[in-house]
A and B are shown apart, each in its own frame.
Chain A
Amino acid sequence: MKRILQWLLIGLALAWSLAPVYWMVVTSFKDALEATRPVPTFLPEAPTLANYQGLAGGSLPFLSFFVNTTLSCLATAALAMLIATPAAYALSRGRFRLRGPISQGILVFRMLPLVVMLAPLYLMLLAAGLLDSLAGLVVGFTTFGLPFAVWMMKGFIDTVPIEIEEAARVDGYKKWEILVRVVVPLVLPGLLTTATFVFMESWNNLIFPLSLITTLAKQTLPAAIQLSFTGQFKTDWGGMMAASTVTTLPLMVAFFAVQRSMVRGLTGGAVAGA
């Protein structure tokens, strides 16, 4: 009896989690009329690829949106890790006076209202001539993702036994050599998890591309979806769901690749750093 109830509830939970995603994918294979029929069909009556073909050959350059998003998010992840790894290492191993306050401060930095950064960022990029460019967007994404990346990386680096580093020091390694040759290989899974997290956050970000990019061809996928809703997809929910499915796939792949070490990354910093 108890088991039946348990599986019933699990079934309900699965339906709650998966039904919307199922609906998105199914709708993307329906034609425009069938997509919003008053009595919805749970499988497409006449499955069609027209919505996906419409993305590739429509009036909007979806391929460049896809490339823009992928490039800027990958660049952000790489740049953020390049800065965050040594910073986290310094916070984890350094013995300087401000170490404690900085470690805790990072969590507080994370609370910065996005918009507090947006106005100065906009004016800064305007002055640097980087407004409306992917480089400027990468700067924006990195600003936002960096503090948390440091926090996650510190959690991972804290778990590396200090004895290993001392052995390396005895062998005559310089400080940066210890970081690059000893610590980084040991925390590689953590580094990849953190990078993926930054990647996902940038992919999710809508406010930065909307306000920092003005040329449509340079937009990212999420912003393009938002902008095209008033245009190309106004009533075309099939096309909208096809664009959504395409936007979801890369994130889904990235997420499930690192899902296992995600837990440690998200709580590790808090447990070890508090």
Chain B
Amino acid sequence: MPALGVLALVVGYPVLYTAYLSTQRMNLLDTDPSRYIGTRNYVRLFGDPVFWSSLENTAIYTFGSVIVAALFGLSLALLTENLLGWRFRSIRALLLVPWAVPFVVVAFLFRFMFLQDGGVINAVLLRLGAISSPVLWLNDANLALPSTMLTNIWTMTPFFFLLLSAALSSIPIEVIESARIDRAPTWSMVFHIKLPFLRNELLISGLLMVISNVNDFAKIWAMTEGGPGYATTTLVVYVYRLAFGDFNFGYASAIGVVWLVLLLVFASLYLRAIRTA
């Protein structure tokens, strides 16, 4: 019980304090103390185009990378399903490697590979004739977000692969056998028998990854710092800039509160979907 008290304090206090901060005019660079300004921070937020574009970027970045990574992970799990013993163990270990690379390293590694001149991705694509001149990747306002997402997909795929391949191996053997006796074709085996078994695993692991991606700061900040312009500015990046660039804690907190509410709505809908399954 005392441990639960600590937990409540550790988690509850910041939330309440943020809610309090969001009603204050508080800037650490100002000499005058913070004061109550009611909902003015929230009013400002609704007219702030950067807030809305950050929200959009967060949604694209999060859902886009989670969905693609889940599909990749699922394909890898199905692809390696019939392997056994040391072969499976060693291939699985190699496929998991990206998971063990720290986010900041992933970011700089891909930043290096995405370099316009001297980057290996451009060099290979030029050699293959897929492009005729070097592409700007992270410095192109249209390509920056997809490029960061590709990087993100690379780090996330092993997570889905590991979870789904564990779930595949726990499907009762009788189910697979009886389908095989009925001569079910491979694709119908996958769609009608295996996928329904993986449904919950997919939903839960998807939720975990959505949560951690909404919070993803390291990869985006280390690759683009939210640029060029605001092309890759997600909510985390925007709030970080407001709080630790401008030291405008009041407004940053207001965004934090709105964001928390949005996440709670999403999570409760999602958990309901899992439960009715």
Contacts and interface: CB of A to CB of B under 8 A. Distances in A.
Most buried by B among A17, A85, A262: A17
A12 B110 CA distance: 19
A102 interface: yes
A118 B79 CA distance: 42
Interface in A82-113: 83-87, 90-91, 94, 96, 102, 104, 107-113
Given A83-B6, A87-B6, A211 B14 contact: no
Nearest to A116: B256
B14 A143 contact: yes
**Which range contains the number of B residues in contact with the other chain?**
35 or more
Interface string A12-27: 0110111011011001
B260 A113 contact: yes
A241 interface: yes
B98 interface: yes
Contact of B3 (A87, A119, A142, A247): A87
A226 B112 CA distance: 13
A213 to B, nearest CB: 12
30 contacts: A17-B154, A18-B94, A35-B118, A85-B3, A86-B3, A108-B264, A111-B263, A112-B15, A113-B256, A113-B263, A114-B217, A119-B17, A119-B21, A142-B10, A146-B7, A204-B102, A206-B217, A207-B217, A211-B240, A211-B243, A222-B104, A222-B218, A244-B105, A248-B105, A256-B93, A259-B162, A263-B163, A263-B166, A266-B208, A270-B204
Nearest to A207: B217
B275 interface: yes
Contacts of A6: 79
Given A119-B253, A120-B21, 11 more contacts: A18-B97, A87-B7, A96-B1, A117-B18, A143-B11, A206-B222, A207-B218, A240-B108, A241-B109, A247-B102, A248-B100
A206 B95 contact: no
B190 interface: no
A225 B119 CA distance: 19
B98 A20 contact: yes
Counting from the closest, the 5 A-B pairs by CB-CB distance are A36-B118, A206-B218, A255-B100, A87-B3, A222-B104
A132 to B, nearest CB: 14
A267 interface: yes
Interface of A: 6, 9-10, 13-14, 16-18, 20-21, 23-24, 27, 35-40, 83-87, 90-91, 94, 96, 102, 104, 107-123, 142-143, 146-147, 150, 200, 203-207, 210-211, 221-223, 225-226, 229, 237, 240-241, 244, 247-248, 251-252, 254-256, 259, 262-263, 266-267, 270-271, 274
B14 A248 contact: no
A114 B112 contact: no
